[in-house]
Amino acid sequence: MTMAVAVARVGGIRRRRSRVVTPVIVGLFVAAVAAVVTIPVAIIVVLSFQSVTPLFKGGFTLANFSALLGSSTTWETLGNTLIFTAGGTALAMFLGTVTAWAMTSVNVPLRSILSVLPVCILILPPLVKDPSWIILFGKDNGLVNLFFHHVFGVQGSVVDVFTMTGMVLMAGVFTSPTAYAILLTPLRSVDRSLLEASQMSGAKLGRTLWKVVLPLIRPALLSAATLTAILIASGFETPVIIGLPARINMFIAEIYESISSPVNGLNYASAQASVYLVLTTVLVIIYLRATRNERRFAAVSGRGHQHTVIQAPVLRWVLFAFVSIYAIVGFLAPLAVTVLTAFLPYYSAAGGKNPFHDWTLANFEQVFTTPQVTSAILTSGALAATVALGVLVITVFLSVVALKTRARGRRIAEIVGMAPIATPALVYSVALLMTVLAIPGLARVAYGTIGLMYVAELVVFIPVALRLVSSSVIQVQDELLEASRMSGASYLRTIMTVLIPIIRPALFYAGGVLFIEAYRQLASIVLLVASNVTLVPFVSWTFWVSGGYPMLSALNVVTLVLPLLVAIAAVGVGNIGRRGATRRPADSETAPVITRLERII
Amino acid sequence: MKSISRTVRSPLGRGAIVVLSMGAILALAGCSGGGSPSGDSSGSDSANKTWTSEAALVKAAKAEAKAGDGTVNIYMAPEYTPFAVPGFEKAYPWAKVNATELEPVPAVAKFSAEVSAGFSNSDVVFMHTSGVQTFKSAKAIAQVTVPNDSKVDPGLQDPNHYFHPVVELPEVILYNTSLVSKSDIPANVKDLSDPKYAGNLVMDTPQLGGPAGFVLASERSSLGDAGWKDWLQQIENGKPSLTGTSSDSYASLLRGDKSYCICSYGDYISQKPGTPVGLVAYGQGSGGNGVVVEPIVGVISNTAPHPALAALFVNWMLSADGGQAGFVSTSRVPVITGVPGSDAVSLPSGTKVFPLVSDLGAYITDPDTFNSVYKDIFK
């Protein structure tokens, strides 16, 4: 009794202190993130109303918008972007959702292997994905068309990547891993009792999925759709490598072209970016409105929670085939093309000839005798690891503030986290550069430092991580966190001992995705890169311009090893955490958390 | 003959120019150290210098290094830094290079931001010639003559010494030997409008300012403006495949997607033996204007924190060692003669070279006019 009173007093003092201190700390943190995110974006908006680049010089004008909106090219490229984005998003969502459901909820054969492959798609850099798809699905000399021609005597092209359909397929396949990663944890968190109740009521599997499962994961679906749509609309490589030869111009390619122009390009590009900002902000608002009652979607609760895997004798093989084909087209075939061409002196299928001959190790000799390859891998790896860790810390914090507190204006944290996604990475890079140069004294301290690169990457990746993490945080019922708080645990301890263990698989996935994206990312730091720093994308470019595709392939084979290991480790550790949880006597994912809660209490 | 010193509109505004000019004066007062030019100083800006002897330049750079941190800040494409940086530091062990790896286009964007803000960080920036005029108009780059400028091919030299070509990128016509018979090889660039090449040509998008932009612009002076636009339209009627870079064009040609390309000579000479790609150095054919050579140039900032070291770096890039550093890793052609091994990467003997600065001056000083024509035609 005495002990209980003492504990209650200590808990009461802690709660009173935290009522004062915590909101201040939270407010300062969110404000700091908001400043880093929004000031550069605001500068871009200001620049869009100027005719010359220096901020607040030369007066304001609507000339940039007048020229932009009066151009038929703008409307044509916006129309193309809309088709490309809508088609790619629909395909990415279909592939990501079906695959995530198959990997979490059906007894598909070889699930532990297949579940890694979609994440592996992410490790393919643009200079692997796009050229390899051209080699596979090119109109005249693509390997698939050559196969149909030689084996079945088909004349003409069966597939052609240089079309809008080809671009949509490409965007859908290569963006789907993001949807997959977002949906994995929510689908794994769907309680068996809900499915059983539906089936007991006479509903068949399809109806149960449509009426029970999909509504339960609606926030995650909206997150995934929003994110994939914006990623596709912002993606630069496919519009340039495939779109330009296909004469299908995209809005983002126009922005990059403007930035490249030395004559007032930045102001016009800022106007273009502002139009883009309006469109993406609309998407974000739609998402925020649709998920404003997010607590309704909490699915992971206390001891009663249990996930189930459907035993489906026929469906498991159908899904096995589906996921296998998806993995082949999205990862294994591009990887195989990359590995095979790495052993060629050149790649040519001109006139339908066999391109695979005269095998050589010369390309690998070149890679291993180029000293900057090792330093580039180490530097990019260190940068990516640091960025991934930093982004995870920030996004867990923002997610908790936005989704697990009742503070007034808590959704500002989510809006702040989503804001950077409205700006393409290169545009944000330019904006951050201008910000540092515009603030007196800051340039002398920060300009040309590695710190600025970190800031840029942290900000650019916050939205990606926020979507990956928040969809899992939503699923955790408030009662668990409230029980910890009621027992006297601080916010930090509650997060570390209750929340983090539950969302650990999602954190590993998010960490893996962030590492891979940061490892190959260049657009956000190309203008901010510090002196005497060599990164993998720079070495890739050098190999591309000086040695052609086979030498680049050899480099890619070597540099892909690190992100591939990270991807496997992220998924593997996440799965171990999940299996460890389900082996508990309570057969519950939350059993270890409950144990910790009991210890706290 | 069109001069490249023609003035175009300034994107930076009068205020920025005033700030820049003041910045230049302050930078020189604070950072020039003991580096005094041995020759005369020309031009209105105090950053403008003529270095007539290498010994004097080295002496000034040494003094500058001693007074400061001994570094020179360069913005250079990543394909050159692995050789240029250690090469320079080996030649001048008392100097250090802070190399920021930037392709020419982002280098222009970054330097432009610095100039706009009146912030001086870079000493030497390497870029395409299409970026030079903007900075020249803004008085952001200095007129500096270094001793080795005299070694540069006269056809590439900037008579006003705002830019210093360090490597040259000859732009040629390549064809896939598996797809093209000898009788179908074009003799020169003009031939590419022939309907028999329709559907078989690939080139980088001209308005992006790469090889195709240069090569197509080179025909304007001989065809006249109206004839030139007609000629461009005839090429467009053949629906050429347009790519983002000349490396993409070369890859498309080699795969066999197309039979002909306007490509960089560097792609041709770095090929492995047996590669089914042939060369048309069209200066040798009848009726050709000569092979267009696009230079990568170095410019020295008017507010360079280390102006003498900057000049020394440019001078070294124009030496035999620097020339080797420029092409060893990338199959680029040095702009000076007498570089050991340069025969392997130079154009075939006797190839006619298009007089770049004199006849492509309009494209260099006003690329936007050309680009708007390209954009209208190659939609």
Q: Is A365 exposed, middle or buried (0-12, 13-18, 19+ CB in 10 A)?
A: exposed
pLDDT of residue A18: 56
> Would you state the pLDDT for residue A15?
55
Of B105, B250, B256, the CB nearest to A351: B256
pLDDT of A347: 93
Can you give the pLDDT at residue A264?
57
**According to the model, what pLDDT value does residue B99 have?**
94
Q: How far apart are CA B198 and CA A141, in angstroms?
A: 18
Binary contact (A548, B248; C-beta < 8 A): no
Residue B221 pLDDT grade (very low, low, confident, very high; cuts 50, 70, 90): confident
Q: CB distance from A58 to chain B under 8 Å?
A: yes
Residue A203: predicted pLDDT: 76
Closest CA–CA distance from residue B20 to any residue of chain A (Å): 12
Question: Considering only CB atoms, which chain B residues are within 8 Å of A370?
Answer: 82
Query: What span, in angstroms and rounded, lies between the C-alpha atoms of A186 and A213?
Result: 10
Tell me chain B's radius of gyration from C-alpha atoms: 21
**Packing angle, helices A72-105 and A218-234, rounded to 10:** 140
Q: Looking at the complex, does the CB of residue A66 fall below 8 Å from at least one CB of chain B? A: no
For an interface test with A, which of B9, B98, B101 has the most A Cβ atoms less than 10 Å from its Cβ? B101
Interchain proximity A548–B102, CB inside 8 Å? no
Q: Which residue of B has its CA nearest to A358?
A: B274
| B330 interface with A at CB cutoff 8 Å | yes
Q: Give me B274's structure tokens.
A: 């047996």
Question: Do residues A174 and A121 touch, judged by C-beta distance below 8 A?
Answer: yes
Q: Which residues of B touch A133 (CB under 8 A)?
A: none
Residue B174 C-beta-side C-alpha neighbours within 13 Å: 30
Higher-pLDDT residue of B265, A547: B265
Using the beta-carbon criterion (under 8 Å), do A370 and B82 form an inter-chain contact?
A: yes
For the segment B241-269, the average pLDDT, to the nearest whole number, is: 91
End-to-end CA separation in angstroms for chain B? 31
Q: Is B122 an 8 Å CB contact of chain A?
A: no
Structural contact between residues A517 and A461, judged by C-beta atoms closer than 8 angstroms: yes
pLDDT of residue B74: 96
Residue scoring higher pLDDT (B41 or A280) = A280
- A262/B112 Cβ within 8 A: yes
Q: Is the dihedral of CA B58, B62, B68, B74 positive or negative?
A: positive
Tell if the CB–CB gap between A346 and B119 is shorter than 8 Å. Answer: no
Average pLDDT over residues A33-54: 81
What confidence tier does A53 reach under pLDDT thresholds 50, 70, 90?
low
Q: How far apart are CA A97 and CA B277, in angstroms?
A: 46
Q: What is the pLDDT of residues A294-304, one digit of tens each?
A: 555 555 544 55
Cβ distance B9 to A259 less than 8 Å, yes or no, reads no
Predicted confidence (pLDDT) at residue A145 exceeds the cutoff of 60: yes
Which residues does residue B202 pair with via DSSP β-bridges, in sequence order?
B241, B261
Name the least confident of A547-556, B57-66, B172-181. Answer: A547-556
Q: SS3 of A300, please? A: strand
Cα B133 from Cα A262, distance rounded (Å): 9
Q: Which residues share a beta bridge with B49? A: B144
In the structure, what pLDDT confidence band is assigned to residue A585 with cuts at 50, 70 and 90? Answer: very low
Residue A167 · residue A248 · CB < 8 Å:
yes
Quote the mean pLDDT of chain B: 82
Residues of A in contact with B79 (CB under 8 A): 541-542, 545-546
Region A104-121: mean pLDDT is 88
Model confidence at A261: pLDDT above 80: no
**Nearest chain B CA: its distance from A275 CA (Å):** 21
B163 touching chain A per CB within 8 A:
no
Other beta carbons within 10 Å of B341? 13
Q: How would you write chain B as a 3-class SS string?
A: CCCCCCCCCCCCHHHHHHHHHHHHHHHHHHHCCCCCCCCCCCCCCCCCEECCCHHHHHHHHHHHHHHCCCEEEEEECCCCHHHHHHHHHHHCCCCEEEEEECCHHHHHHHHHHHHHHCCCCCCEEEEEHHHHHHHHHCCCECCEECHHHHHECCCCCCCCCCEEEEEEEEEEEEEECCCCCHHHCCCCHHHHHCHHHCCCEEEECHHHCCHHHHHHHCCHHHHHHHHHHHHHHHHHHCCCEEECCHHHHHHHHHHCCCCEEEEEHHHHHCCCCCCCEEEECHHHCCCCCCEEEEEEEEEEECCCCCHHHHHHHHHHHCCHHHHHHHHCCCCCEECECCCCCHHHCCCCCCCCECCHHHHCHHHHHCHHHHHHHHHHHCC
Residue type, A586: A
Q: What is the DSSP string of A365-380?
A: HHHHT-THHHHHHHHH
More confidently predicted of A192 and A349: A349
Instruction: Note whether B296 and B210 are within 8 A (CB).
Output: no
Residue A451 backbone zone (phi > 0: left; psi -120 to 50: alpha; other: beta): alpha
pLDDT in tens, B100-142: 988 887 888 888 888 877 888 899 999 988 778 888 888 899 9
- Rounded to a whole number of angstroms, the distance from the CA of B52 to the nearest CA of chain A is 31
Counting Cβ atoms within 10 Å, is residue A304 exposed (0-12), middle (13-18) or buried (19+)? Answer: exposed
Considering only CB atoms, A54 lies closest to which of B8, B117, B121, namely: B117
Instruction: Name the burial class of residue A281, with classes exposed (0-12), middle (13-18) and buried (19+) by CB atoms within 10 angstroms of its CB.
Output: middle
Q: CA nearest B129 in A: which residue?
A: A262
- Cβ distance A53 to B79 less than 8 Å, yes or no, reads no
The answer to whether the CB atoms of A348 and B113 lie below 8 A apart is no
CA distance A174 to chain B (A): 20
| SS3 label, residue A308 | coil
A223-232, A392-401, B122-131, B198-207, range with the lowest pLDDT:
A223-232
Q: pLDDT at position A290, please?
A: 66
Question: Which of these ranges, A120-124, A516-520, B149-153, B343-347, has the smallest mean pLDDT?
Answer: B343-347
Structure tokens at A132: 């390899």
Q: Is B130 on the interface with A (CB under 8 A)?
A: yes
**pLDDT score of B173:** 95
Q: State mean pLDDT over A432-440.
A: 83
Calculate how close chain A gets to B326, using CA atoms only, in Å: 12
Between B8 and A228, name the one with better pLDDT: A228
> How many Å lie between the alpha carbon of A433 and the closest alpha carbon of chain B?
8
CA quadruple A98, A104, A105, A106: dihedral sign: positive
% pLDDT > 70, chain A: 86
Residue A529: pLDDT over 80: yes
Q: What is the pLDDT at residue A299? A: 52
Among A47-61, A201-215, B39-53, B361-375, whose mean pLDDT is lowest?
A: B39-53
Closest chain B C-alpha to A551 CA, distance in angstroms: 11
- How many Å apart are CA A304 and CA A503, to the nearest integer? 17
A412 touches B at CB < 8 Å: no
Residue range A90-119: mean pLDDT, rounded:
92
Encode pLDDT of B338-356 as tens digits.
887 777 788 888 888 887 7
Nearest-neighbour CA in chain A from B213: distance (Å): 14
Predicted pLDDT at A77: 92
Assembly ipTM: 0.79
Residues of B in contact with A539 (CB under 8 A): 78
Say if the Cβ atoms of B79 and A534 lie within 8 Å. Answer: no
The confidence score (pLDDT) of residue B65 equals 95
Tokens of A459: 């900000």
Rounded to the nearest integer, the mean pLDDT of chain A is 81
Mean pLDDT computed over B59-86: 91
* Geometric angle at alpha carbon A559, from A555 and A565, rounded to 5°: 150
Check pLDDT > 90 for residue B39: no
Alpha-carbon distances of B81 from A374, B298, B330, rounded to whole Å: 16, 14, 11
Confidence label for A144 from pLDDT (cuts 50, 70 and 90): very high
* Residue A597: predicted pLDDT: 39
CB-based burial of residue A449 (10 Å sphere; 0-12 exposed, 13-18 middle, 19+ buried)? Answer: middle
> Tens of pLDDT along A367-425?
888 878 888 999 999 999 999 999 999 999 888 888 888 777 777 888 888 778 777 78
Residue in A350, A430, A541 nearest the CB of B109: A430
A542, A548 Cβ separation under 8 angstroms? no
Residue type, A513: V
In whole angstroms, give the CA distance from residue B93 to residue A121.
Answer: 46
Q: Are A376 and A538 in contact (CB under 8 A)?
A: yes
Looking at the complex, report in whole angstroms how far the Cα of residue A542 sits from the nearest Cα belonging to chain B: 5
Among A200-214, A350-364, B325-339, the least confident range: B325-339
Residue contacts between A and B (CB atoms, under 8 Å): 183
Q: Is A74 in a helix, a strand, or coil?
A: helix
Per-residue pLDDT tens for A460-487?
899 888 877 887 887 787 888 888 888 8
Verify whether the Cβ–Cβ distance B11 to A241 is below 8 Å. Answer: no
Provide the shortest C-alpha distance from residue B55 to chain A (in Å).
Answer: 28
For testing contact with chain B, the best of A73, A133, A240, A263 (most B CBs within 10 A): A263
Tell me whether A527 touches chain B (CB under 8 Å): yes
Mean pLDDT of A188-197: 76
Task: Check if the beta carbon of residue A243 is closer than 8 Å to that of residue A132.
Answer: no
Q: Check residue B261 and give its pLDDT.
A: 96
| Burial class (CB within 10 angstroms; exposed 0-12, middle 13-18, buried 19+) of B71 | middle
What is the token pair recorded at B279? 């060369």
Chain A residues whose CB is inside 8 A of the B9 CB are 263
Q: Are A573 and A589 in contact (CB under 8 A)?
A: no
* In chain A, residues 326-365 whose CB comes closer than 8 Å to chain B: 345-351, 353, 358, 362
> Is there a contact between A476 and A298 (Cβ–Cβ < 8 Å)?
yes
In three state form, how does the secondary structure of A445-498 look? HHCCCHHHHHHHHHHHHHHHHHHHHHHHHHHECHHHHHHHHHCCCCHHHHHHHH
